Amino acid sequence: MPFRWSPREHLSLGAYLIKWLCIVTPTSIAIGSSCALFLWLLDRATNLRFQNPWLLFLLPPAGAAISLLYSRIGNGAEGGNNLLMDAIHGSENGDSGIVVPRRMAPLILVATIISHLFGGSVGREGTAVQMGGSIAAAIGRWFRLNLGDFRILLMAGIAAGFGAVFGTPLTGAVFAMEVLAVGRMNYDALIPCLAAAIIGDQACLAWGLHHSRYSVAAVAPEIVGPLTLKVILAAIAFGLASVLFAELIHGISHIFKRTVSRPWLRPVLGGLLVIALTYLLGTRDYLGLGVSSPDPQAVTIISCFSANGATPWSWWWKLLFTVITLGSGFKGGEVTPLFFIGAALGNALALLMNAPVELFAALGFVAVFAGASNTPLACTLMGIELFGASCSLYFAIACFLSYLCSGHSGIYLSQRIGTPKP
């Protein structure tokens, strides 16, 4: 009989599905809830800083406190996102030696909130991803998963954290699979990652959290014509900005480590630099998360979506504040600052090239991140999830080209090279 159908194969697929739903559901509820707590605390910390501008002067000692916290009780948690990736790659090769400590979750939560409270220019994704990975690792040990399943659960933890913190579950699922290696994606964690991202996002929303909404007026998809050429040029600029960001953050971190031998002194100096830059520029727009501001004239991610919502160099200042803050040892993510840098650069380029500001801000928002993290498909999906499908081709052009132009630079040093870029 040439008709092949194996009921046993389908029973085993059903068992696989049920098993992973059972593992992933509690894990993702815990991760999504942690993300809700994080976003709530972040909101409180940001508002507290808006109301008490003097808190900025405590940024240097806050940095020292974070450094001491990690050196005293870090137990390896300092490795952050890279440690997670190393653990995932290690598990793939049968090496169970890389331990993701349970304390990574509370440590990164506290350290990120401290960074934000005192005005450090950091983001959210690193925190969410590390909380996700650390909680997933703890639950994986509790379930006594074998190494292969443990690896998949770590990936699902990343997906849940990413999906929950930005409210973009599909992006979170694809990001967790795409970020591990440049230019190659494996599908063995497809279903656990999707389930984790959806459940994590729902758990976060169930706590009453709301994500920032951005709106982009639908642009007629006139793919033939000068607009596409402008998108291509902007995409190349986004890719180069991502190289600048990734290389500067590694370079500054390297310089701090080589020139300042005491780890706690590095963020003190970084904090002082941030204060000096703030007073030199006469603006506090580049401190903290940058999504919103009590000052209606301020440059924020949201203001970048309107004409005159950013200066021609806003992208560069946000980039500089962020690489100094993160490079000197503060904690938090890179992604929200990358959204800011991209949206501000898109705003400036739109003005320069007489292109639609909203569209170009949205393109920069996702494309600089695509280049810096080498995740072009996840970022195209993020553009679609945040801004709608009407401009999906432009998102793809921007993210794919930025990915190409970022070369082998990237913010994640533990990312492997799956397929080299040309």
Q: With binding defined as CB under 8 A, does residue 388 bind its own copies?
A: yes
Quote the least distance from Cβ 307 to its own copies, whole Å. Answer: 25
Would you say 250 or 284 has its CB closer to its own copies?
Answer: 250
Q: Which of 131, 136, 377, 379 binds its own copies (CB under 8 A)?
A: 377
Q: With binding defined as CB under 8 A, does residue 422 bind its own copies?
A: yes
Q: With binding defined as CB under 8 A, does residue 169 bind its own copies?
A: yes
CA atoms within a 13 Å half-sphere pointing along the CA-CB vector of 217: 7
State the Rg of the chain over Cα. Answer: 21
Would you say 229 or 307 has its CB closer to its own copies?
Answer: 229
Give the span between the Cα atoms of 311 and 177, in whole angstroms. 36
Q: Which of 99, 101, 247, 283 binds its own copies (CB under 8 A)?
A: 247
Q: Which of 113, 310, 405, 411 binds its own copies (CB under 8 A)?
A: 405
Pinpoint the alpha helices (H) of 260-374.
Answer: 265-281, 314-327, 335-353, 357-373
Q: With binding defined as CB under 8 A, does residue 17 bind its own copies?
A: yes
Q: With binding defined as CB under 8 A, does residue 392 bind its own copies?
A: yes
Count residues near its own copies (CB under 8 A). Answer: 64
Cβ-contact 157, 133 below 8 angstroms: yes
Local structure of 305: helix, strand or coil: helix
Give the span between the Cα atoms of 401 and 239, in whole angstroms. 7
Q: With binding defined as CB under 8 A, does residue 196 bind its own copies?
A: no
Q: Which of 138, 153, 174, 310 binds its own copies (CB under 8 A)?
A: 174
Local structure of 182: helix, strand or coil: strand
Q: Which of 128, 136, 164, 401 binds its own copies (CB under 8 A)?
A: 401
Q: With binding defined as CB under 8 A, does residue 416 bind its own copies?
A: no
Give the span between the Cα atoms of 221 and 394, in whole angstroms. 8
Q: Which of 164, 367, 396, 411 binds its own copies (CB under 8 A)?
A: 396
The CA-based dihedral angle spanning residues 189, 190, 196, 199, taken in that order and rounded to the nearest 10 degrees = -160
Quote the least distance from Cβ 6 to its own copies, whole Å. Answer: 8
Local structure of 295: helix, strand or coil: coil
Contact mark string toward its own copies, 224..243, x via CB under 8 A: x---------------x--x
Give the other-Cβ count within 10 Å of 247's Cβ.
15
Q: Which of 255, 276, 307, 413 binds its own copies (CB under 8 A)?
A: 255
The vertex-405 CA angle with 381 and 320, nearest 5°, equals 90
Counting every residue, how long is the chain?
422
H or E segment to which residue 173 belongs: helix 169-178
Q: With binding defined as CB under 8 A, does residue 54 bind its own copies?
A: no
> Which residues contact residue 248 at a Cβ distance below 8 angstroms, ignoring those fewer than 6 apart?
319, 320, 323, 327
Q: With binding defined as CB under 8 A, does residue 2 bind its own copies?
A: yes
Judged on CB neighbours under 10 Å (0-12, 13-18, 19+), 205 is middle
Would you say 32 or 290 has its CB closer to its own copies?
Answer: 32
Question: Applying CB under 8 A, which part among 82-90, 287-295, 307-315, 391-399 lies near its own copies?
Answer: 391-399
Q: With binding defined as CB under 8 A, does residue 216 bind its own copies?
A: no
Quote the least distance from Cβ 166 to its own copies, whole Å. Answer: 14
Q: Please give the structure tokens belonging to residue 395.
A: 């998102």
Give the span between the Cα atoms of 69 and 167, in whole angstroms. 30
Quote the least distance from Cβ 363 to its own copies, whole Å. Answer: 15
Quote the least distance from Cβ 230 to its own copies, whole Å. Answer: 15
Give the span between the Cα atoms of 69 and 73, in whole angstroms. 6
Give the other-Cβ count within 10 Å of 407's Cβ.
18
Residues lying near its own copies in the complex (CB under 8 A): 1-6, 9-10, 12-13, 16-17, 169-170, 173-174, 182-188, 190-191, 194, 198, 201-202, 206, 223-224, 240, 243, 247-248, 250-251, 254-255, 376-377, 380-381, 384-385, 388-389, 392-393, 396-397, 400-401, 403-405, 407-409, 418-419, 421-422
